[in-house]
Each structure stands twice: as structure tokens, then as C-alpha cells.
Amino acid sequence: MINIDLTNSLTGAIIFRQPIKGKLKMSKMIYSALVFGGIIAANSAWADDLPKSDDVATTGKLTILSTMDYAPFEFLDKDGKPAGLDVELATAAAEALGAKLDIITTPFPSIFPSITAGRGKIAWSTFTATPERLKIVNFVTFLKSGIVLVTPADKVSRFKSKDDLCGAKVAVHNGSSGDFAADKLSADCKAAGKPEIEKSLYPQQQNIIQAVLSGRVDGYFDDTTAAIYYVGTTKGAMVVAPGEYFPLPLGIAIPKDDPKTAEMLQKVLQHLMDNGSYAKVLDKYQMGPAAVQKADVISSADQLPK
């Protein structure tokens, strides 16, 4: 792991741990509060009435697992520093709790196993709260989104309706909400007597993009929020095809048996919503349409939209 203590005068510190090959290294770098455009400054005083989990109360750290490879939510900027919507919200949450933010970089396929095995208490990302995932973890939700197809602009005319997905070659992030959506949509194709979707699994977002750009697949499934952000960076080369599928809440994954962590995250996220910090972060990343008014704890598929 690389431990990077990203210290600034307003928030104390962000500790960033990133896996490297061979051996452990530790380094430090100054992390200016200006990175967050004053958002954290507006929220610099912690709220004494917010509940804390046992881990936060004992260590003084809000420790989260994150893939750090999913823009605009969590990624490394050009200087190798943590950035993104989730990083900014988690930083604001840690500040409100009077804690340091400790980010442990974790590959996506290891996120849920790490939570269920007790190697982490909080996986902070925009995970879709699906019935399958709710069998093993709970969620504290703070966004809403569906699944869309991202495709090159010269192919989008092929995808005018849901039926046009049948027989298409589609890339997905292994184990993601797009992965589950591909299976469900492909089953619908089969039931209708149409060719199934040809699904290709990839471990990282950059591999998916390369597969689309090289023509190995026709497009990829992703959350609406991330897709809109990415398409906006391509200058028209990539577009979102018509249709949004399986709209569900997005949120943070936590253990099934940890009500204190659930209460802490729900309360601190609601605090950020109520004081305006949440809206400022979402607006910065053009994610206003994905906003919700209330942070919720979801522990059962019965709580999901029908």
C-alpha cells in the first residue's frame, strides 16, 4: 500500500492507501483545500450531535473502501490525488464527524467480499442497490439512477428501442449494475424469440472504453449518472442511446449487522443535504438530476422501487 497523508488547514487529513507491487511505501503530500472549491470550507465545523460508529469514535478516522477508477465519482487526478464526487462527499462527511478520511483503494470485484468478510465497514461509491446485493450488504443511499447504453455516435441509430439491444455486443464492468442489467435484458430478448445480448466482462472502466473504441463491442452499459459525465468528455464521439432501464437508488455499501455505521452515514449525509454541501458537490459534477432529498438505509429488496 501507499499511504498518502493529504493534509490541509481546514480538514485535518485525508489518508490515501493504494496497492503497489512488491513492498509497502509511505509518502506525504500537501493537499490544498482549494481542490474542493471552498465546499469543505463552508462545512469546516463538525456537528457535535452526529452519531459516530465504534470505528470512527475509536480511531478518529472515517475509513472507506473505494475503487478510485470510476470518474466522476472516484478517481485519481493528474497529480495522483483522490478526486471526484464521492471523494468530496466523503471528505465533507469526515469533516462533519470531526474525523480524518482514510481511503483504501480496493478493486471492484473485491469490494463486496471485503465488506462481508469484515475487512472493511464502508464501501463508498455509487453502488446500485439491487435485490442481489441486498442479500449480502445493506446500503445508505444518496443518489438515484438507471442503466443506459453508451455507444459511438455512428452506431447510435441502431439502438432506437429496447428490442434493438437484442443481438448487440455489449461490454460491462464485471459484477456491476450494468452486468446485472445485461443479463435481465438478454433474458427478455430470449423470451421474445430474439438473439440474446453478447455480453463481455471487463475488470476496469478503461478496459471497457478501449473495447468500445476498438470496435470489439457495440457499446457498454453503465449507470446513467456516470454515462452522462463520460459522454460529455468525448466531444460528441460517444453518446447515450435512447432508453433508461431499471432505475434504482445508488449508495454506500455497509455490513448487514452494523446499525451504528448505518445510522452514522444516514445522519451525516442528511446533514450535508440540509446544509447545502451535497447540492454544491453534485452541481460541480453536473449530477443535479440524480439528487435525492433524503438519505435512506436500505436493507431489503422490499424497500426498492417497484
Q: Grid coordinates standing for 241?
A: 442511446
The answer on pLDDT for 38 being more than 80 is no
Contact call for residues 259 and 94 (beta carbons, < 8 A): no
The mean per-residue pLDDT over the stretch 149-162 comes to 97
By the 10 Å C-beta count (0-12 exposed, 13-18 middle, 19+ buried), 283 is classed as: exposed
Amino acid identity at 153: A
* All cell numbers assigned to 133: 446485493
Into which CATH architecture does domain 2-143+249-303 fall? 3-Layer(aba) Sandwich (3.40)
pTM over 0.85: no
Of all residues in the chain, what percent carry a pLDDT higher than 90?
A: 75
CB 222 within 8 A of CB 280: no
**CB-based contact 296:249 (threshold 8 Å):** yes
Query: What pLDDT does residue 26 have?
Result: 36
Strands (DSSP E) found in 218-306 = 219-223, 238-240, 245-254, 291-298
Confidence of residue 47 (pLDDT cuts 50, 70, 90): low
Contacts 24+ apart (CB under 8 A), 285-289: 285/72, 285/84, 285/85, 285/229, 286/228, 286/229, 286/232, 287/72, 287/85, 287/143, 287/225, 287/229
- Residues of the chain with pLDDT > 70: what percent? 86
Average pLDDT, whole number, for the chain? 87
* Domain 144-247 in the same topology as domain 2-143+249-303: yes
Task: Give the span between the Cα atoms of 124 and 103, in whole angstroms.
Answer: 9
Residues 6+ apart with CB under 8 A from 121: 53, 55, 63, 115, 254, 255, 258, 261
Confidence of residue 19 (pLDDT cuts 50, 70, 90): low
Position 7 confidence tier, pLDDT thresholds 50, 70, 90: very low
60 against 229, higher pLDDT: 60
- Which H or E run contains 201? strand 198-202
Whole-number Å distance between alpha carbons of 145 and 6: 31
List, for residues 54-106, the tens digit of each pLDDT value: 999 999 999 999 999 998 999 999 999 999 999 999 999 999 999 999 999 99
- ∠204-126-122 over CA atoms, to 5°? 95
Q: 144-247 adopts what CATH topology?
A: D-Maltodextrin-Binding Protein; domain 2 (3.40.190)
20-24, 124-128, 292-296: segment of lowest average pLDDT: 20-24
pLDDT (tens digit, 9 = 90+) per residue, 262-286? Answer: 999 999 999 999 999 999 999 999 8
Domain ranges of the chain: 2-143+249-303, 144-247
Element (H, E) at 229: helix 224-232
